[in-house]
Structure 1
Amino acid sequence: MKPILPIEKYFGTLELVFAFNGAMPTGVSVSETGRIFICFPKWGDDVKFTVAEIVGDKLQPYPNLETNIVNLENITNSFISVQSVVADGRGTLWVVDTAAPNFSEPIKGGAKLVAVDLKTNTIRRVYTFTEDVVLPTTYLNDVRFDFRIGNAGYAYITDSSSKGPGAIIVVDLENGNAFRRLNGANSTSPDPYMIPKVEGKVLMNRNKDGGTSPFRLASDGIAISPDGKVLFFCPLTSRHLFSISTEALRDRNIPDRDLHYHVKYWGEKGASDGMITDAKGAVYAGDYENNSIRKILPNATMVTIAHDPRILWPDTFSIGPDQYLYVIVNQLHRQARFHYGKDLRQKPYSLLRMKIDEFPAPTFP
């Protein structure tokens, strides 16, 4: 009789919330009333609408289909390719439109941050960016908010460029003034020594013609402390966690060349895509190399709260009013661009959740 050999232990109770049999999702956000929003960037799949709401067992274009159809004559009020959606806990869904389908140069005037009123399901305001903020290499990724500062609050957006400098873009929501911070800094740049490995294999760009190149993406994951005073961030191709005072980020009297002195290093947390913070200050981050979800406590202690073979690239996180942690799992690493043009993804992609018994970090008093 052959012995039964030990196998890897998996843990963490995950529930399937929604299965996606169409385009690949990247973003999820759960509003204060429990509504669930999803986004689908245009990376090559047949994306019929780039922002959706889960209603029952179906996806509905949000706020409507018309807004999800690119209108070059009204580009500021139509969604081009949305990377992230974030409900702010006070009645607004914020939409980050890269305007960069297939990671192209952003369409001029199309990259934007859009505020959608969740009561009326209409666009309330659109923030566009000047050419010194959204560069030809920029890929707007994720956003966090603090409405306790200034007259209308501030937004912080990561630039996860693969070809240019990473950065954190600071936006004054009163007047729309925006500026880049930590532009090209080590903390917002890919780790040049990291060789990402997923499902036991090196992750790198592998083109149809046989050419290869390292996979490198800059600042991506972002989270904000419950009091709004600390911003956590990490490059996508890095295993390191950084933070900085939001006051220092907003203070333009601190030259960008000196801003790195205000960055705090938290150590390794695994390679992460999205991150989120709970009301007690813990940061939740994926580990896409190890099919895991980490929890980093305010004292820097790190625990793994889920390790499951179904966590095939944990992308974006959201914490709902039901005290569940929601996560998009989308097999990003199986895309054709990493496998000589062969798409290895297996549908469905999934939205999973696990009970954490914590509320999301507030964005307002």
Structure 2
Amino acid sequence: MKFMLPMERYFGKFELVHSFYGAMPTGVTVSETGRIFVCFPKWGDDVKFTVAEIAGDQLHPYPNLETNLANPANVAMSFISVQSVVADGRGTLWVLDTAAPNFSEPIKGGAKLVAVDLKTNTIRNVYTFTEKVILPTTYLNDVRFDFRVGKAGYAYITDSSSKGPGAIIVVDLETGNAFRRLSGTPPTSPDPYFLPKVEGKILMNRNKDGSLSPFRLASDGIAISVDGKTLFFCPLTSRHLFSISTEALRDRRIPEKDLLSRVEYWGEKGASDGMITGAKGNVYAGDYENNSIRKIMPNGNMETIAHDPRLLWPDTFSIGPDQYLYVIVNQLHRQARFHYGRDLRVKPYSLLRINIDELPASAF
């Protein structure tokens, strides 16, 4: 007599948006008109262009191929290694360039935040940073915006360093003035007691020579509340969620020791890479250990909205005008650096979407 043993329950209805057979993507964003942009940081794959637009079933370098060719003579105006792209809902694509291929020290003058006009497909503004902001260990990871404060708005960027202090970098978009906040503090740092477990195995740096070291990455996921008053963030190697007042972050009169006391703890949400906020105030976050996506409600309650074996490292999120949550799935944990030099990723990587009946939160 044949019978089936009970199995783990999976749920959440996903649609495949795009399959990637080349370089591994990390970031995705959907504009207010439904245009989809992705990025490919230079982590060892053959990256022909680090920012692209998906049109039909094709990838097109964005805004053009020339901009995607790193130019040592003009690092501020060429994309070097882009980790994140964010459409702001009002006609601009923001490109966050780490300028740190293969997690190297950032190329001097190359780490930047770039504003691209989606109507003309041309670069409008470039924000570069001083050496007090971009440390030799800095890795710019993700960015959120609020255009309701200041004359031109503010940007908040996570430094997800694996070797130095994590931080929230605050940028005044009028002046370009930027500064580090919560730098090296526990909420922006890796959880020293956390051992990530993915596909049933402990995730560690496993080098070709057989040496091992813990996988540690600082502040990574970031989301901003609907009213722009609260910034949510989390280290990559941690299951914890934190928040802080954006007004306090912007106010440099508040010293770091006092700023730390203003951080609020929301509990465990699972280990997340990307996060995003919807118009109803819900924060969506991945759980890469459990192939899941969580919804964190304004009252702090959490709900798992999807649990799917295909969610092999849910990376970046974006909410489109179609009320779908878009997510990059890239098998990050299967990279060669975690498996003694053996690349265990299986193409294609994917861009998936799931209906959440919620529009993106507005930043203006």
For the superposition of Structure 1 and Structure 2, which TM-score range results when normalised by the shorter chain? over 0.9
CA RMSD of aligned residues (A): 0.4
Q: Could you say which residue in structure 2 is the equivalent of 1:30?
A: 30
- String of CA shifts for 1:61-116, please: whole Å, max 9, x gaps: 00000000011111100000000000000000000000000000000000000000
Q: Could you say which residue in structure 2 is the equivalent of 1:73?
A: 73
Give the secondary structure class of the aligned counterpart of 2:258. Answer: helix
Give the secondary structure class of the aligned counterpart of 1:130. Answer: coil
Q: Could you say which residue in structure 2 is the equivalent of 1:264?
A: 264
Give the secondary structure class of the aligned counterpart of 1:259. Answer: helix
Is 1:274 aligned with 2:274?
A: yes
Q: Could you say which residue in structure 2 is the equivalent of 1:347?
A: 347
**What residue identity is the alignment partner of 1:308?**
D
CA distance in 2, matches of 1:256, 1:50: 35
Q: Which moved more, 1:251-260 or 1:92-101?
A: 251-260
Give the secondary structure class of the aligned counterpart of 1:72. Answer: coil
CA distance in 1, matches of 2:260, 2:294: 26
CA distance in 2, matches of 1:41, 1:360: 25
CA distance in 2, matches of 1:277, 1:264: 18
**What residue identity is the alignment partner of 2:333?**
H
Q: Could you say which residue in structure 2 is the equivalent of 1:309?
A: 309
CA distance in 2, matches of 1:262, 1:11: 37
Give the secondary structure class of the aligned counterpart of 2:74. Answer: helix
Q: Could you say which residue in structure 2 is the equivalent of 1:137?
A: 137
Q: Could you say which residue in structure 1 is the equivalent of 2:62?
A: 62
Q: Equivalent pairs: percent with the same residue?
A: 84
- String of CA shifts for 1:267-293, please: whole Å, max 9, x gaps: 000000000000111000000000000
Q: How does 1:240-251 map onto structure 2 within 5 Å?
A: 240-251=240-251
Give the secondary structure class of the aligned counterpart of 1:96. Answer: strand
**What residue identity is the alignment partner of 2:198?**
V
Instruction: Provide the TM-score with structure 1 as the length reference.
Output: 0.99
Give the secondary structure class of the aligned counterpart of 2:183. Answer: coil
Instruction: Provide the TM-score with structure 2 as the length reference.
Output: 1.00
Which structure 1 segments of 5+ residues have no match?
A: none
How much does 1:3 deviate? Answer: 3.4
Q: Could you say which residue in structure 2 is the equivalent of 1:177?
A: 177
CA distance in 2, matches of 1:45, 1:185: 33
CA distance in 2, matches of 1:285, 1:261: 24
Corresponding pairs, count: 364
Q: How does 1:7-156 map onto structure 2 within 5 Å?
A: 7-156=7-156
- String of CA shifts for 1:49-71, please: whole Å, max 9, x gaps: 00000011100000000000011
- String of CA shifts for 1:128-186, please: whole Å, max 9, x gaps: 00000000000000000000000000000000000000000000000000000000010
Is 1:283 aligned with 2:283?
A: yes
- Return structure 1 stretches of 4+ with deviation > 6 angstroms: none
How much does 1:2 deviate? Answer: 4.0
CA distance in 2, matches of 1:72, 1:44: 19
**What residue identity is the alignment partner of 2:200?**
G
CA distance in 1, matches of 2:166, 2:256: 13
CA distance in 1, matches of 2:100, 2:289: 26
**What residue identity is the alignment partner of 1:258?**
D
